Amino acid sequence: MKRLNLVALLSLLLVVLGACGSEAATPTTAPTTGSSTDSTTAPVTGKIDLAGREVTIAVENLYPPFNYINPKTGKGEGWDYDAWNAICAELNCKPVYKEASWEGMIQAVSGGQFDAAADGITITPERAEQVAFSDGYIKINQRLLVRSDETRFASMDEFAKTEFRLGTQTGTSNYETAKGLLPEARIQGFETFPFAVAALINGDVDAVIMDETAGQGYVGNNSDQLKLVGDPIKSDELGFIFPKNSDLVAPVNAALKTLRENGKLAELEKKYFSAEFKLPE
């Protein structure tokens, strides 16, 4: 096996291995950033006031740049943390982050186990039958992540004409896209994206289909081993999810509108969804 240079990837894999025996979507208190505990503020006049209400938010902590564990501090970080801290600052609520596996997360929210979930979740009609979605906060592209020395193909169209194997995370919109493009025998599903990326680096699969925002993070930390190739394969809109008929959907949508207008979402997009982002090591 080739040596993995991505220290942050190894840290994420250790988190996965430590959780392998746990039941899907079983909630535990996630390590949080220091700012998350300070996000409850007195509301400005005219704003929606949730009166300091606690809001439990499911995060995977394995999906950078949306959520991950900083190996130096052992605390959760990422776009989801910063965005929900800002949302609760607008609404006068307190975010309480709960770590949960992706497998079963949507069902857990649907059943009321969490007030919301933030994990880069694609808005789809099928999912909307189970949960309520917030307004979309970003549109992202699905791309191919490959090894840096890859020359056999340079796009999804070229890849589809080969017999090579494609890796991705099960239960994701990326997996559904892969199934629409390739025979399932050529698709290798993984429990998490860190496992899929490790398999790519080690030569067990030939490419990984994933959201471009996540792929940029892996490339930023491992540019000598990984690169993104080809045009966007599919464009998706992401949103937060809530139990059906949740009274939080309207306030969160109002907060997202404010954060879009005051530039906060643009600030977070530059911080996490650009080539500047690198996972902490």
Helix or strand holding residue 149 (H, E): none
Q: What is the pLDDT of residues 93-151, one digit of tens each?
A: 999 999 999 999 999 999 999 999 999 999 999 999 999 999 999 999 999 999 999 99
With H, G, I as helix, E, B as strand and everything else as coil, classify residue 96: strand
pTM: 0.77
d(CA 185, CA 17): 26
Mean pLDDT, residues 193-197: 95
Mean pLDDT of the chain: 87
166 neighbors 128 (Cβ within 8 angstroms):
no
Residue type, position 100, single letter: A
Give the pLDDT score at 5. Answer: 39
CA 201 to chain centre: 21
Per-residue pLDDT tens over the stretch 250-277: 999 999 999 999 999 999 999 998 878 8
- Percent of the chain residues topping a pLDDT of 70: 84
Amino acid at the residue 5: N
Domain positions in the chain: 7-139+238-272, 140-235
The confidence score (pLDDT) of residue 176 equals 96
For the chain, how far is it from start to end, CA to CA, in angstroms? 22
Pairing of strands 166-169, 207-211: parallel
Maximum CA extent, the chain: 61
* Domain 140-235 listed as CATH 3.30.70.890: no
CA-nearest of 163, 144, 150, 161 to 209 is: 144
Q: What pLDDT, on the 0 to 100 scale, is given for residue 46? A: 59
pLDDT of residue 43: 43
The 10s digit of each residue's pLDDT in 21-72 is 333 343 334 444 433 434 444 444 457 999 999 999 999 999 999 999 999 9
> What pLDDT sits at residue 220?
83
Provide the pairing of β-strand 166-169 with 93-99. Answer: unpaired
Mean pLDDT value across residues 148-172: 97
- CATH superfamily, with its number, for domain 7-139+238-272: Periplasmic binding protein-like II (3.40.190.10)
> Which tokens sit at 10?
């190894």
Tell me if 69 sits within 8 A of 76, measured CB to CB: yes
In this prediction, residue 87 carries a pLDDT of: 98
